[in-house]
Structure 1
Amino acid sequence: MRVFDVLTRAAFGVASLALMLLACALIYYAGSGVWESVRVPDRDLGQTALEAVGYTVIAIAVFDVGKYLLEEEAIRGREMRNAGEARRSLTKFVSTIIIAVLLEALVTVFEAGKEDARLMIYPTLLLLAGTLLIVGLGVYQRLSVSSETQAADPAEDDQGRSGD
């Protein structure tokens, strides 16, 4: 079982480093596109900057996924110790995804607004998805905190009922 644990950690470590490198490549690509737009007067700097923002947002989300895998699977390599730790870790991860979805929606709103109003369906759906993710995260937080409280205080529940 020890060999399998080492191999699993190594696989997660390699995958997370690959994701981080790809995220850096996306940021480099976005920056080089903006630099090229500044150097070549024929290119639309505004459009290139919006695309660069989109690539950067995606890169941040990909980098955060790689960081999450590295921290939680490769370095720690264990099950969460308690429900609170799992909730905090999952909340941090999902929050990054929500931010990426909402920023992508914002960038897409600007791009679609410049071209054609009929293209607003996709950014609207992204905004709706981001909103649903926030609501879902809130429900998850509420339910998990409630269950943690109940699991932590079973003696108080028994004393409260037996004293009545």
Structure 2
Amino acid sequence: MKKVYETVALGYFALATTTLLLSAILLVSFAVWEVAASVFASDAEIVDRVRSLLDGIGLMIIGFAVVEAATFIAEEELFRKRELRSTRESRRSITKFITIIVIAASLEALVMVFKTSREQIPEVIYPAALFASAMVALVALGLYQWLSSRVERESD
């Protein structure tokens, strides 16, 4: 039964990784298409071109996060093929995953600030809240690292 589970889980993780990578490629393709269509549109105003460029950057950032998540899954579940054996290894994996989220959220908040600050100043609160959430996650990660390193030192 364990062998069946391991085979099914391996297949699932391989399928999930492949699907995530294909989705990221599609996101980047759509971003390039949107930016190119906007830049080469003869009747587009500069504001519309900038908005399309920022939308394309947002899609690329999401694609970046998706690729990083796929890489994380592949490294943790497909290539290593083992359980987390130490607290150090567990801490490294959690740190990597949360870092991916913080970077993606911060970049998306930055793009959103640029988009909303041009025309909709009251709407800047939403990207600011996203950025604040990313910073809270970063501080929480630092606290987790500090506490877990202390526990690790005490157990050695």
**Are 1:67 and 2:67 an aligned pair?**
no
What TM-score, normalized by structure 1, do the two folds share? 0.89
Aligned partner of 1:119 in structure 2 is 123
Cα shift readout 1:67-103 (whole Å, capped 9, x = no counterpart): 1111111222321121111111111111111000001
One-letter code of the match for 1:115? E
Q: Which has the larger radius of gyration?
A: 1
In 2: Cα distance, 1:138 partner to 1:41 partner: 49
2:147 to 143, 146, 161: 143
Structure 2 alignment gaps of length 5 or more: none
Q: Which runs of 5+ in 1 are unaligned?
A: 153-164
Tell me the matched-pair count.
152
Residues 37 and 48, structure 1, Cα contact 8 Å, conserved in 2: yes
Higher mean alpha-carbon deviation, 31-40 vs 70-79, is at: 70-79
User: What is the rounded CA distance, in whole Å, between the counterparts of 1:38 and 1:113 in structure 2?
Assistant: 21
Alignment match, 1:12 = 13
Distance 1:149 1:2 in 2: 36
CA contact (8 A) 1:9 1:75 kept: no
What residue in structure 1 maps to residue 31 of structure 2? 30
Q: What percent of counterpart residues are identical? A: 36
Q: Which runs of 4+ in 1 moved over 3 A?
A: none
